[in-house]
């Protein structure tokens, strides 16, 4: 099991990436910083996991896509073997799915390959000191996107109109129920159809059921 580096020791780094140029660039960036020492390199997931076990680095820089498998699977294996090893996932594919995949795999940080090398070094510094605290530049915005409701958001009035349409009411009936003119009722219905991407009542109700905006009617009881 690895131990967190003391303030006077150099942080040992293992680079796992199948591109020689990227490894060379990262090595150069880490060697410029006296806090770090690159102790090994690997070009495959299996070799990365093997070297991590043999070298016991403080931080592993792990490419997401490797010739023999996923860097996320390698990250899970490393995290399972050590709770104190810092793991920085580095990737060209920096979407929300990849970011949350790295978080769920137990990574300490997530950095796109388009980021400056200094950001990778900073992520490694974080990973060495707080291996279980995940960080990513876009984490807050990614969380907002994940937590944001999906699908169209209906106003309270549009919700009323939808339920009345589901009850089979005519435009005149909806207008009377809502105490508005038929023209206003038609406007509400038109806006509702637009939000649901529907051309008529049937399409609107089917879409609303699919999106969970309406509950399916109870099956008849015999």
Q: Where are the domains of the chain?
A: 11-145, 156-211
The rounded distance, in Å, linking the Cα atoms of 90 and 21 is: 14
Of 182, 195, 95, the residue nearest 146 (C-alpha): 95
Tell the residue number behind the tokens 């990849």, with chain if given. 98
State the pLDDT at residue 221: 40
The rounded distance, in Å, linking the Cα atoms of 89 and 1 is: 20
The rounded distance, in Å, linking the Cα atoms of 208 and 217 is: 13
Instruction: Note the CATH architecture for domain 11-145.
Output: 3-Layer(aba) Sandwich (3.40)
Cβ neighbours of residue 205 under 8 Å, at least 6 residues apart? 162, 165, 166, 214
The tens place of each residue's pLDDT in the chain, 222 residues long, gives: 555 554 558 999 999 999 999 999 999 999 999 999 999 999 999 999 999 999 999 999 999 999 999 999 999 999 999 999 999 999 988 888 899 999 999 999 999 999 999 999 999 999 999 999 999 998 998 888 787 666 788 889 999 999 999 999 999 999 999 999 999 999 999 999 999 999 999 999 999 888 878 876 543 443
Q: Could you tell me which CATH class the domain 156-211 is placed in? A: mainly alpha
Long-range Cβ contacts of 144-151 (<8 Å, 24+ apart): 145/96, 146/96, 146/100, 151/211, 151/212, 151/213
pTM for the full predicted model: 0.67
CB 143 within 8 A of CB 191: no
CB 130 within 8 A of CB 84: no
Cβ neighbours of residue 194 under 8 Å, at least 6 residues apart? none
């Amino acid at each position: 099991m690895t131990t967190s580096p003391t303030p006077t020791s150099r942080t040992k780094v293992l680079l796992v990436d199948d591109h020689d140029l990227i490894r060379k660039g990262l090595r150069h960036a880490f060697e410029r910083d006296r806090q770090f020492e690159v102790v090994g390199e690997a070009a495959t997931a299996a070799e990365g996991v093997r070297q991590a076990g043999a070298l016991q680095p403080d931080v592993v820089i792990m490419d997401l896509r490797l010739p023999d498998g996923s860097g996320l699977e390698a990250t899970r294996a490393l995290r399972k073997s050590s709770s104190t090893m810092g793991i920085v996932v580095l990737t060209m594919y920096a979407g929300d799915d990849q970011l949350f995949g790295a978080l769920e795999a137990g990574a300490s940080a997530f950095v796109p390959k388009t980021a400056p090398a200094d950001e990778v070094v900073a992520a490694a510094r974080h990973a060495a000191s707080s291996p279980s605290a995940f960080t990513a530049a876009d984490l807050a915005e990614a969380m907002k996107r994940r937590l944001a409701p999906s699908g169209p958001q209906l106003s309270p009035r549009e919700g009323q109109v939808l339920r009345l349409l589901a009850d089979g009411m005519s435009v005149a009936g909806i207008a009377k129920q809502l105490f508005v003119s038929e023209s206003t009722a038609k406007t509400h219905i038109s806006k509702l159809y637009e939000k649901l991407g529907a051309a008529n009542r049937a399409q609107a109700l089917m879409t609303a059921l699919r999106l969970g905006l309406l509950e399916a009617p109870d099956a008849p009881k015999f």
